[in-house]
Amino acid sequence: MNRLAQSPSANAGQRRQKALGCLGCLPRLVLILFLGVVLIGAITAIFQPWAFYLGGKFNILANWSGMGTLHARNGNYILFVRIGPSKGNAGHGLPGSPVSGLAYLCSPRHEAFRMTLGGGMRRGVGIDTDGEKISLYMYNRPAFSFSGNNRPSIELRGQWHNPNLDADDHGSISRAFAPDGTVYQPGQAHNIPYPGDIVPVHLVPGSYSEFEAACKSPH
């Protein structure tokens, strides 16, 4: 004999149980995500405690954001950086305490470039970074581009004077940008002497919104 079909009320009850079962997964997912964040924070606190004190002030997000202006011969370049700890290769001869992050560079033509940031400090940096040297490199990383062209790229060599970062570009602005403020393309900058004009920059704590406003204003 065939089984009797389930009543509409029974089907509705099963649907409610399934819905509640999905909702019941949310607290578990939130807990897993929270524990993951706590674990990453604990690892950073153990192996890279300086990351929470970049610029001399405690930051639970373990990063430092700042901006400044490079007064080059062909105009002013506004730079914003966000620096945090990295597990990768620090590069530029400072492998001890690697950093990573992002940067934005605004040219005299008011063209903003989103850039990937990397670099490092010496091995054994403590919680107090004041006076510590830092090397940074940045290269363009367009959101939608498959050409492999990462121009412009610049670098900074500097030192923390908390809460600020004083550095120079080691001539990278003159090697990255033409006199009219456009980006040099491959093969165009072969006659530029190395390192070229060295431009200082004084980076102070700042936000991306401040950078965006400064980039849009005359500079």
Q: How is residue 54 annotated by DSSP?
A: G
Per-residue pLDDT reduced to its tens digit, 45-92: 566 899 999 999 999 999 999 999 999 999 999 999 999 998 654 444
User: Does residue 110 sit in helix, strand or coil?
Assistant: coil
Per-residue pLDDT reduced to its tens digit, 160-216: 999 999 999 999 999 999 999 999 987 776 677 777 889 999 999 999 999 999 999
pTM of the model: 0.77
Q: How is residue 22 annotated by DSSP?
A: H
Write the DSSP assignment of 68-95 as a string of letters.
EEEEETTEEEEEEEEEEE-SS---TT--
**Which stretches within the chain are classed as H helix?**
8-47, 172-176, 208-216
Phi, psi values for residue 203, rounded to 5°? -95, 125
